[in-house]
Structure 1
Amino acid sequence: MKSKIRIVFLKELREILRERRTLMFLLAASLIYPAIIGLVLNQMIERNTRTEREGIEMLVIGGAKAPTLMAQLRERSVTVTEAAPMNEDAIGNLLRAKKTVAVLRVTDDYVANYQAMRPARLELWFDSSTESGPQRRDVEEILQAYSSNIASARLLAHGVSPATLSPIELQRHDTGTNASRSAMVIGGIIGILFLPAFVLNLSAAVDSTAGERERRSLEVLMAQPARSWELVVGKWLAASVPSVVGVTLVLCVAHAILRWLPLEEIGMSWSLGWGELMLVCLVTVPLSMLSSALYIGLAMNAKTFKEAQTTVSFVTIMPVIPGVVVSFMELKTATWMYLVPMLSNQTLVKELAKTGDIGPLPFVMTFLCALIPALLVVAFASWRMKSEKYVLGV
């Protein structure tokens, strides 16, 4: 680093470090983003490792007409509460008040139809707008199993094997590995870990350009014996430091959380090592530098500090768009994805978690796809710095 660039870099870095709010935000971001992923996965683990149905409470109207069904519900850990007959409006009000998961009503002609071997109708009332969907599906599975048992018993009573109803036996063999399954699930939410690359440097980049120009301190800086590109590069590198440090902390904390969680309980694993993580952190550095360059370049074209903040805030949304589009379109991993900044980082982590060995080309492409645009934007900002209109803000 040349001496003049180093002087500008250290000057801007000292101003960044004076801002305690920036440092606190850096620390908070390094914990919040990984914590979100950890909480989501932990909820998945808890939901999938429950050994029995818990918390299923259901009202039954006319349960005395189907004693064997009530017994089977209780055997499957469903708390059955007998209720008096009620109309449809009363059932709807009860469900909207979230006082029960569902209401099972045994119809008046249930016993007659059951004895005549006709379809005996049961009514299951539920509110799909509540959060009791998994419990309601558990109840439906119990009722379906009860119906299948009755059908099998009737066939045996008539000398017919229940296997007659199942002419085909389907055996499922899943060849997916824990690593590939975890890559599909974790890869879909890992993009949030790269967002700090576009968040932690916004304030520093805007303040060092539009902010200094509004305070008229930029004129004093440009009066020094330094060329415009040296000033821009120094500011660019200083603004990139909080972002680089923040993303590295976020990735390290998330890596530690993923290695600590018992992902094998839900058929997944996290196989990345610390060496591979360091390579991911290294190729993510240009992503932070690209966002800093974009912020500086856009802030130079704003006449006020507030206008610069409003303009560059749209840049924080742009990197999320490619990942969302790829997820909705369910596109398979392709080489072109390593040419799109941020999408390339998400794809790189997902493929590393899936296969482990992807070769050096994805790393090189991920590194260059953000570094080359960053250098071009810095070159434009250096040229823009030469304009007196920019310095004077006219």
Structure 2
Amino acid sequence: MNLAVIWTVAKKELIDLFRDRKTMALGLFMGPVLIPAMFLGVGALAEKRVRTQLESTLELPVVGAEHAPNLVAFLESRNIDILPPPADPDRAVRDQEHDLVLRIDPEFGEQWRGSRAAKVELVYDSSRQDSQIPVSRVRGVLTEYSRTVGVLRGIHRGISPEVAFAVQIGQRDVATPEARRGMLLVFLPYLLVLFSFLGGAALVIDVTAGERERQSLEPLLATPAPRAAIMSGKILAACLFGMLSLLLIVVSLKLSFQLAPGPMRMVDVSVPVMAQLLLVLLPMVLVGTTLLTLIAASVKSVKEAQSYMSVLMFLPMVPTIVLMVNPVKTQLWQFAVPFLAQNQMILKLVRSEAITAQEWLVYLGAGFGAGLALWLLAARLYHREKLAISA
């Protein structure tokens, strides 16, 4: 294949693209601005919410507070403000008037004096995420109160507090700090894969379907240059543009994580990690570009080519959704599955986990192999005579 022809076509397409400053700016800078802004904004909101709900005074309506004055006093000592109960606790929680309501059993005092387990009930809506922290706070305080009273009862009867605990459970979390921070970036693989997969969509569709509509593709295909070389030049231009956009995204992520609040500030985005991220995304850029070239060569108009975008945008989302609903252990075969492989590789890099040579080999082989297969299919379409005929 004539490399000079490929480079000439690629250079021509890039020059044409950069002349259209609006399209160039949207394609090149939308990702570097959008992704960091989203992570910074979401991170700041999440940290503010957690800090506010953990540190601020918690308002807790209590039904039957008169039945357990000691418990109420203990709650107040833990930065919990006791409020009068609503007329209908269930409805108040369901209508989001309160995050939760504590209901104390009318027989609490009698059960207490009899050294029996006194009953209380938390009324909350588990489907509301904003109530999780208040519920956890109140449940923790109630557990602390229960254990404290239980220990005091045992001591009063001359029983060692250890008798109540038949098994002492220790916990050892082997997750690294990097892995825990990686849990905050669960959507990062999807966003990076999406931009690598469809980052050059506007250019790819325009240089084939668009030129076909403008009747400028026919003179180009009529030249002595091999059609495969012409197509490869267009693909190369889109890949270079896509990789440039990804480079800007990775650099902007590095800067945004340095400014991010909380744990995200410690995410490792060093130069070696940035280089590995770009290497991971390179096969997806090739796959996305060749697939879009295949689609653009098989349709009659830009509008028809763009109709495929909604389906293509959904594909990178599938692994993220599947892994959230049904987490699976990392296995070698996963590095050969498009989109899932990129998801796993990016998560490994974010979690600072080592990627073996075998995993790299399977990943790169499968990724570039898929790109080559799509290139061959697109080349066959480029050799059809009716491709040069405008719709």
The alignment's TM-score, normalised by the length of structure 1, stands at 0.85
What's the counterpart of residue 335 of structure 1? 332
What's the counterpart of residue 233 of structure 2? 234
> Cα distance 1:182–1:220, how it changes in 2: closer, same or farther (>3 A)?
same
SS at match of 1:104: strand
Amino acid corresponding to residue 280 of structure 1 in structure 2: L
Does 1:257 pair with 2:256? yes
Query: What count of residue pairs does the alignment treat as equivalent?
Result: 388
Q: What residue ranges of structure 1 are gaps of 5+ in the alignment?
A: none
Does 1:192 pair with 2:194? no
Give me the whole-angstrom Cα distance separating, in 1, the residues matched to 2:215 and 2:194: 32
Amino acid corresponding to residue 382 of structure 2 in structure 1: M
Give me the whole-angstrom Cα distance separating, in 1, the residues matched to 2:121 and 2:182: 41
> Cα distance 1:328–1:123, how it changes in 2: closer, same or farther (>3 A)?
closer
What's the counterpart of residue 108 of structure 1? 106
Amino acid corresponding to residue 199 of structure 1 in structure 2: L
Give me the whole-angstrom Cα distance separating, in 2, the residues matched to 1:143 and 1:283: 49
Give me the whole-angstrom Cα distance separating, in 2, the residues matched to 1:77 and 1:144: 16
What's the counterpart of residue 159 of structure 1? 158
Query: Does the aligned pair in 2 maintain the 1:187–1:346 contact within 8 Å?
Result: no
Residue 344 of structure 1: CA displacement? 3.0
2:22 is aligned, of 20, 24, 42, to 20
The alignment's TM-score, normalised by the length of structure 2, stands at 0.86
Amino acid corresponding to residue 36 of structure 1 in structure 2: M
2:34 is aligned, of 17, 32, 35, to 32
Give me the whole-angstrom Cα distance separating, in 2, the residues matched to 1:7 and 1:368: 28
Give me the whole-angstrom Cα distance separating, in 2, the residues matched to 1:117 and 1:385: 85
SS at match of 1:6: helix
Residue 352 of structure 1: CA displacement? 3.7
Give me the whole-angstrom Cα distance separating, in 2, the residues matched to 1:351 and 1:120: 48
Q: 5 Å matches for 1:238-317? A: 238-261=237-260, 269-317=266-314
What's the counterpart of residue 204 of structure 1? 203
Amino acid corresponding to residue 20 of structure 1 in structure 2: K
What's the counterpart of residue 217 of structure 1? 216
- Of the structure 1 ranges 35-44 and 145-154, higher mean CA displacement relative to structure 2 is found in 35-44
Query: Does the aligned pair in 2 maintain the 1:31–1:253 contact within 8 Å?
Result: yes
Query: Does the aligned pair in 2 maintain the 1:188–1:327 contact within 8 Å?
Result: no
Query: Does the aligned pair in 2 maintain the 1:384–1:390 contact within 8 Å?
Result: yes
SS at match of 1:132: helix
Q: What residue ranges of structure 2 are gaps of 5+ in the alignment?
A: none
The C-alpha deviation readout for 1:354-388, integer Å capped at 9, x for no partner, is 45553545444433432232233223322322212
Amino acid corresponding to residue 178 of structure 2 in structure 1: A
Give me the whole-angstrom Cα distance separating, in 1, the residues matched to 2:42 and 2:387: 47
Residue 43 of structure 1: CA displacement? 5.4
Amino acid corresponding to residue 100 of structure 1 in structure 2: H
- Of the structure 1 ranges 356-365 and 328-337, higher mean CA displacement relative to structure 2 is found in 356-365
Does 1:373 pair with 2:341? no
What's the counterpart of residue 93 of structure 2? 95
Amino acid corresponding to residue 104 of structure 1 in structure 2: L
Query: Does the aligned pair in 1 maintain the 2:43–2:261 contact within 8 Å?
Result: no
- Of the structure 1 ranges 124-133 and 38-47, higher mean CA displacement relative to structure 2 is found in 38-47
> Cα distance 1:270–1:129, how it changes in 2: closer, same or farther (>3 A)?
closer
Give me the whole-angstrom Cα distance separating, in 1, the residues matched to 2:64 and 2:373: 75
Does 1:76 pair with 2:78? yes
> Cα distance 1:175–1:103, how it changes in 2: closer, same or farther (>3 A)?
closer
Query: Does the aligned pair in 2 maintain the 1:155–1:161 contact within 8 Å?
Result: yes
What's the counterpart of residue 5 of structure 2? 4
What's the counterpart of residue 67 of structure 1? 69
Amino acid corresponding to residue 382 of structure 1 in structure 2: A
Give me the whole-angstrom Cα distance separating, in 2, the residues matched to 1:326 and 1:82: 44
What's the counterpart of residue 147 of structure 2? 148
Query: Does the aligned pair in 2 maintain the 1:341–1:366 contact within 8 Å?
Result: no
Give me the whole-angstrom Cα distance separating, in 1, the residues matched to 2:123 and 2:355: 52
SS at match of 2:137: helix
Amino acid corresponding to residue 169 of structure 1 in structure 2: Q
Q: CA RMSD in A?
A: 3.1
Give me the whole-angstrom Cα distance separating, in 2, the residues matched to 1:66 and 1:368: 68
Give me the whole-angstrom Cα distance separating, in 1, the residues matched to 2:224 and 2:339: 37
The C-alpha deviation readout for 1:32-76, integer Å capped at 9, x for no partner, is 223334445555655666795424211223323322111111111
Amino acid corresponding to residue 345 of structure 1 in structure 2: Q
